[in-house]
Structures are given as C-alpha cells and as structure tokens.
C-alpha cells in the first residue's frame, strides 16, 4: 500500500560524521532485514527550508524520498548498501515499508506528542517512533490493506492528516537530514520494552545480528492516533508534510 495522506532528542550513534548514515543503513538492512535505499537529499538554500535534490522545484517532501535508484531498488544486501552510502555518505536512509519490514502510521508533530502521552498513560508498549520537526511516525508490525481497511471502516471519521505507510510506501529513518530538518528517534528501537525517557544507541557493526526491534500491532495504536489527530489544530484536516 502506498502512502495515504490522512526540542530535538537525538539518538547517538557509535559512529559519527560521514559514517552515521552508512552505519544506520547497515543496521537496518543486515541486522534487522529492513530493505533500505538512499534518499535524494536536499540542496543548499539561503532560506529556512532547503530545496529538494530532485528536478521538481515544488517537491513537497524535499530530500525525503527516493529518486535514483527508486524505491523498488530497496535491498538488504550489504554490498549494495555499502556502495550506495560510500558514494553518497550524507544520503537520507529510506526504508521501504511493508512486506518483511515494519509499516508505520504518521501524524503531525503536535498530535504525535499528544498520542504518545496518551499511549503511555494507557500503559501500552510502543515500538520505535521516528520524529521530524513536522511529523512523528509510529512503527508497527506489517499489516495488510484489508486489515487496515477493516479498522478504518469502523471509525466515524479519519483525519486526512493521519497517514499510513504500508506495502509500497516508505519512511525516512534517523539520522537523516532532509529539506524539512533533522530526523531522530523520539523512541529508539529496542527488542525489549522501551521506557518513555530511555534513549539507547543503535547496535554497532559487531552487534548487527541482534533481533529486530519489537513492533506493536496497528490495532493497538490506531484509536489513540485518530483521536490525537482529530484534536490537533485544524481538527486534523490539515495535510502537513
């Protein structure tokens, strides 16, 4: 399924600088078997928001999407991943969602913060949460289009600002930098139950055989996300990238 529109806390890597994206891409691809592909990246700009590296001057997700190669090239092959990020060390890390990889639900940053507070209050165990200055994304276990349709059909209304990243979609992962700003882990990946204030580093190269991060079922979080989006400024109808 393709994407449907609906104070920074950085995760510290054991590598830094030009190796950070490569290390993150290798962890995702070889350790967790999440297929990745480099993002297009952004161009320098004098303004607050940088332009996309793609030919579209009106790109709504500057630097935060695949271009060449395209999403279909996403892979878990270590040699290919090393080649890509050796050639372009600053390229954003983009994960192809669905299949064997996680799916995700994303919503505006304000609504995302509210949703996490509510989910913590309910005592629900969360998986990784990816944050940008404008949107937060909760990673969940892979779901089918049919299952998602059943869940949404039961709702009176689903805000257009809530988006679903399933089969055929993608998500930018930390420690990428896009035209909208940095990408970080608001809740870092962990195979064990995460704590709200815990910030753990990703495994280094020697630890990439560790189990993939635990992921909740989409049904466990969708109600809180719909409610948080509805209560966001604009009633959840504003489509902010």
pLDDT tens column, 187-235:
999 875 444 444 444 444 434 445 789 999 999 998 888 887 776 555 4
The stretches of the chain forming alpha helices (DSSP H) are 20-26, 78-87, 109-121, 145-153, 218-230
pLDDT at 46: 47
pLDDT at 24: 96
pLDDT at 196: 45
Beta pairing, strands 93-96 & 177-178:
unpaired
Answer yes or no: pTM beyond 0.85: no
pLDDT at 49: 65
Low-confidence ranges of the chain (pLDDT < 70): 1-18, 44-49, 192-210, 231-241
pLDDT at 210: 58
Within 10 angstroms of residue 193's Cβ, the number of other Cβ atoms is: 9
């Amino acid at each position: 399924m393709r994407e449907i529109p609906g104070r920074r806390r950085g995760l510290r890597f054991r590598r830094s600088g030009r190796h950070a994206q490569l290390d993150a891409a290798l962890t995702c691809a070889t350790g967790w078997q999440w297929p990745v592909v480099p993002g297009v990246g952004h161009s320098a700009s004098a303004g607050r928001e940088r332009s996309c590296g793609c030919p579209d001057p009106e790109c709504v997700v500057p630097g935060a999407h695949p271009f060449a190669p395209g999403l279909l090239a996403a892979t878990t092959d270590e040699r290919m991943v090393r080649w890509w990020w050796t050639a372009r060390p600053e390229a954003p890390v983009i994960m192809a969602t669905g299949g064997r990889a996680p799916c995700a639900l994303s919503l505006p940053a304000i609504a995302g913060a509210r949703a996490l507070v509510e989910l913590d209050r309910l005592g629900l165990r969360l998986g990784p949460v990816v944050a940008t200055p404008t949107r937060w994304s909760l990673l969940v276990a892979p779901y089918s289009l049919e299952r998602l349709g059943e869940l949404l059909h039961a709702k009176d209304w689903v805000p257009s600002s809530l988006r679903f990243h399933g089969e055929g979609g993608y998500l930018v992962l930390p420690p990428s930098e896009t035209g909208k700003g940095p990408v970080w882990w608001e809740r870092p990946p962990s195979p064990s139950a995460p704590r709200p204030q815990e910030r753990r580093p990703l495994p280094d190269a020697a630890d990439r055989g560790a189990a993939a991060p635990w992921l909740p079922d989409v049904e466990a979080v969708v109600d809180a996300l719909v409610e948080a989006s509805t209560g966001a400024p604009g009633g959840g109808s504003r489509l902010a990238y």
